[in-house]
């Protein structure tokens, strides 16, 4: 059984991911994966997979909130769905074949690239 302190930390990790996801429409995994690895002491690949399991419900909640406020441009969003589903399938299938160190580097590169694009 996890201690109260551990459960509180895990709840705070989830809350941080939820806030980032809600504010930016995505990105909770960028917060959650490092927290799951360092704070939750999960193996790398388990943390990546767990992040997806946690982020999916967060994305659904954010989608409902955004949709109810009329902020979702469905016509502009739906064309990306087929490619996103295919990419998710391919990523999920090759996930276990990629060494954890390479996953870290690619994940870090994606975060840096996204951050630079937002800043420039």
DSSP track, 32-45: HHHIIIIIS---HH
Task: Enter the pTM of the model.
Answer: 0.70
Please check the confidence at residue 98 and state whether its pLDDT lies above 70.
Answer: yes
> What φ, ψ does residue 82 adopt, rounded to 5°?
-60, -45
Structure tokens at 116: 């630079």
State which H helix or E strand residue 113 sits in. Answer: helix 100-119
Give pLDDT, residue 2.
60
Considering the chain, what is the average pLDDT of its residues? 85
To 5 degrees, how large is the angle CA 64–CA 66–CA 67? 60
How do residues 19-28 score in pLDDT, each as one tens digit? 887 777 667 7
């Amino acid at each position: 059984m996890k201690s109260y302190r551990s459960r509180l930390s895990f709840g705070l990790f989830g809350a941080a991911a939820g806030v980032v996801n809600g504010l930016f429409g995505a990105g909770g995994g960028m917060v959650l994966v490092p927290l799951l690895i360092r704070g939750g002491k999960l193996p790398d690949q388990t943390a990546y997979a767990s992040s997806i399991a946690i982020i999916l419900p967060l994305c659904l909640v954010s989608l409902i909130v955004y949709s109810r406020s009329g902020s979702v441009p469905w016509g502009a969003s739906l064309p990306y769905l087929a490619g996103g589903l295919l990419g998710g399938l391919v990523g999920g299938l090759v996930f276990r074949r990629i060494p954890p160190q390479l996953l870290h580097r690619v994940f870090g590169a994606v975060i840096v690239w996204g951050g630079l694009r937002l800043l420039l």
